[in-house]
């Protein structure tokens, strides 16, 4: 009887190893893809012939995109943004950099490249004055990453309650101004995090078509919203999605409708 059990036990043991084997193979394939992508990118940088460079950048892009399928690696989106920029696709470069920014907001190279590409856009749409004022007054919200503000909120929240406990249940003197300041900071960071949550509910996007005419309604039969067309790299906040058309708000507060196929959401 025991002899017949050995094949069964061996089979079960082999089956239990399958997920680990599959994971190991997937990790090995990903490593190889990343090496190939980096190699193609560097080769493209060294080529003198624009057509040869373009083909190599496209090969690198395909591999970076395949690796970024789970959407959790900011470095890959950064590489995708670099590749799109090298291919002259400013719109998709900004989309990729913005996606990377959500994952690695403190990366200096990312911010430098993003700012450079933003400066190359054809449409110089200025932000509303009220937004500029908010960025000046609430610089902590705009200058610190979400993760950093979460850590600071937790720190000041715990410190506030510790100070409050000492104030009321301990002979150790705790200045009221200290507990008041900690409470103010706690409310400040809590508000900042709530604003982040609210903004996530309003997706942002970027025009990726080279040129598109904004409309006053969701169809080409509507009148243009502006005298001049909009161009690749122009950013917006999504107001309404009607599948084929998007109602958006530009950074200067103007609203219009754009064909969905001309845009990408972040």
Specify whether the CB–CB gap between 215 and 256 falls below 8 A.
Answer: yes
Report helix angle 146-169 to 176-200, nearest 10.
150
- Kindly state the helix (H) or strand (E) to which residue 264 belongs, with its residue range: strand 263-265
Same domain (yes/no): 54, 108:
yes
Question: Could you tell me if 196 and 214 lie in one domain?
Answer: no
Residues 6+ apart with CB under 8 A from 104: 74, 75, 78, 110
34 in the same domain as 81: yes
* Residue 5 resides in a domain: no
Classify 172 as helix, strand or coil.
coil
Q: Please give the DSSP secondary-structure letter assigned to residue 260.
A: G
What is the sign, positive or negative, of the torsion defined by CA atoms of 105, 107, 112, 114? negative
The two three-digit tokens of residue 150, written as one number? 């979460």
Q: Read off the CATH number of the domain in which 59 is found.
A: 1.25.40.10
Do 221 and 170 share a structural domain?
no
- Residue 67 sits in which domain range? 25-119
Count of the separate structural domains present in the chain? 3
Domain membership flag for residue 170: yes
Residue 74 to residue 77: CA distance in whole angstroms: 5
Last residue of a domain, which of 76, 92, 119? 119
pLDDT tens for the chain, 266 residues long, are: 555 555 555 445 444 545 554 445 567 789 999 999 999 999 999 999 999 999 999 999 999 999 999 888 999 999 999 999 999 999 999 999 999 998 998 899 999 999 999 999 999 887 765 555 545 546 666 667 667 888 888 898 898 888 878 777 777 777 778 878 888 888 887 887 777 666 556 799 999 999 999 999 999 999 999 999 999 999 999 999 998 999 999 999 999 999 999 999 99
Note whether 260 and 177 are same-domain residues: no
**Taking the complete model, does pTM exceed 0.85, yes or no?**
no
Asked, for residue 40, whether it belongs to a domain, the answer is: yes
Pick from 238, 239, 232, 212: nearest CA to 224: 212
Structural domain ending residue among the three candidates 180, 200, 220: 200
């Amino acid at each position: 009887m025991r002899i017949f059990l050995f094949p069964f036990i061996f089979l079960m043991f082999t089956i239990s190893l399958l997920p680990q084997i599959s994971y190991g193979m997937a990790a090995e394939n990903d490593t190889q893809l990343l090496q190939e992508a980096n190699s193609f990118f560097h080769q493209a940088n060294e080529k003198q012939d624009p057509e040869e460079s373009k083909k190599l950048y496209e090969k690198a892009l395909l591999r970076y995109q395949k690796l970024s399928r789970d959407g959790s690696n900011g470095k890959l989106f950064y590489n995708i943004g670099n590749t799109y920029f090298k291919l002259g696709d400013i719109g998709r470069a900004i989309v990729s950099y913005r996606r990377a920014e959500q994952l690695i907001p403190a990366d200096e190279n990312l911010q430098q490249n993003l700012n450079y590409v933003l400066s190359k856009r054809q449409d110089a749409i200025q932000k509303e004055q009220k937004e500029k004022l908010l960025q000046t007054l609430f610089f902590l919200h705009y200058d610190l990453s979400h993760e950093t503000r979460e850590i600071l909120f937790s720190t000041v929240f715990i410190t506030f309650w510790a100070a409050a406990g000492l104030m009321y249940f301990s002979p150790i003197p705790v200045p009221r101004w200290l507990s008041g300041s900690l409470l103010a900071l706690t409310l400040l960071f809590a508000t900042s995090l709530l604003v982040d949550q609210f903004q996530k509910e309003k997706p942002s996007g970027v025009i990726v078509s080279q040129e598109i005419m904004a409309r006053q309604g969701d169809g080409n039969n509507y009148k243009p919203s502006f005298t001049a067309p909009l161009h690749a790299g122009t950013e917006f906040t999504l107001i309404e999605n009607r599948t084929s058309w998007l109602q958006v708000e530009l950074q200067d507060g103007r609203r219009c409708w754009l064909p969905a196929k001309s845009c990408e959401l972040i």
